[in-house]
Amino acid sequence: MTPRRSRILPLLVIGLLAACARTPAASSPPSGAPASTSVASASPSSAFPLVLTDDAGREVAIEAEPDAIVSLAPSNTEIVCALDACDRLVGVTDFDDYPPEVADVDRVVTMAQVDVEAIVAAEPDLVLAAGNELTSTTIINQLTDLRLPVLVLYPESIAEVMADIELVAAAIGREDAATALVGAMEGRVEAVEAAVADLEQPRTFYEVSVFEGTIYTAGEGSFLASLIETAGGEPITGDALSTSIALEDLVAADPELILLGDATYDTSITPETVAERDGWGTMTAVADRRVVVVAEDVVITRPGPRIVDGLEALARAIHPDAVAE
């Protein structure tokens, strides 16, 4: 062993240790499982300061009621506006399109590139990020290192969306609005569930996109899959991580109903063009002409307050006779 080598090992170790030893700027490590959201509040009128646990299991301290909010995902923006706090938004993404008032708010995320300088310049006291790398971990760390309170939201079911609405409400002091909103949502969900209760569940394939021969759909165990189930369908799912499904597997699964989510954005995708695709003709759904254009993909896939609109749209598409407009 040359002298060089024996010097490398300690350097390697130091490098590794130093890189791993990042001191968190937020407070102590949280307790509880990552998926749970526990809202800690001092009193029903949610006095500040308070500490909340977000969807990533992080404990976030909020000193006072925030009046400058940055949202890093359209779903988060919709939650804030649904809680009647739209005027507090100081930064949103360029994908945010609802409600219309949002058009006047400064964009701090362009083409999925987060402009940290712009966020800092907006002087927010709350940042709502998206989990599962929709907002990259790097950005979340950077913002936290700058001592900005960052709440990471990542709901994977309607119930979790409602919990997130309550979480955000606690964070911005709008609990009453949340209670009303969540109550209404629950009512509509129950109505859908009742409507489809005893109906036969068709094997349903939701086409998210087809790109260069790869078919993207609802991943196994995903939010979209659970939505389809709640809407009274039996979802055909793809790989949990890549959300793709091989054509062979799709043909083997033989969907009875195909929902064209991508038709929302691309009018060239129609039941006719789908029927013409190689290998798709053998599917029951194509043979029975049960290929449906979906125009509500945005609300179906955006985990915000309008998710119930999405659920209803799905239920109408799967059971058009049972679910009223």
Residues at the interface with other proteins (CB under 8 A): 2, 4-5, 8, 11-12, 15-22, 24, 29-31, 34, 56-58, 110-118, 120-123, 132-134, 136-142, 144-146, 219, 240-243
Compare residues 46 and 144 and give the one whose CB is closer to other proteins.
Answer: 144
Buried residues in 150-163 as b, exposed as e (16+ CB within 10 A): bbbbbbbebebbbb
CB of 134 to other proteins, least distance (A): 7
Q: Provide, rounded to whole angstroms, the least separation between the CB of residue 17 and other proteins.
A: 8
Q: How far is the CB of 6 from other proteins (least distance, A)?
A: 11
Cβ nearer to other proteins, comparing 36 with 132: 132
Q: Is 13 exposed, middle or buried (0-12, 13-18, 19+ CB in 10 A)?
A: exposed
Q: Which is nearer to other proteins, 245 or 285 (CB)?
A: 245
Angle at 92 between CA 90 and CA 96, to 5 degrees: 140
Indicate the residue among 117 and 198 with the shorter CB distance to other proteins.
117
Spatial CA neighbour of 90 closest among 120, 111, 65: 120
Q: Residue 271 Cβ, how far from other proteins at the closest point, in Å?
A: 29
Nearer Cβ to other proteins (134/191): 134
In contact, 71 and 171? CB cutoff 8 Å: no
> Please, how many CA atoms are within 13 Å of residue 201, restricted to the half-sphere of its CB?
15
Q: Tell the smallest beta-carbon distance from residue 131 to other proteins (Å).
A: 9
Structure tokens at 155: 């709901």
Nearer to other proteins, 12 or 64 (CB): 12
Least spacing, CB of residue 35 vs other proteins, in Å: 9
CB of 13 to other proteins, least distance (A): 10
CB 162 within 8 A of CB 190: no
Please give the Cα distance from 18 to 6 (Å, whole number): 19
Torsion of CA 92, 93, 98, 100, to 10 degrees: 70
Neighbouring residues of 229: CB distance < 8 A, sequence distance ≥ 6: 201, 235
Nearest CA-CA partner of 132 in 63, 40, 219: 219
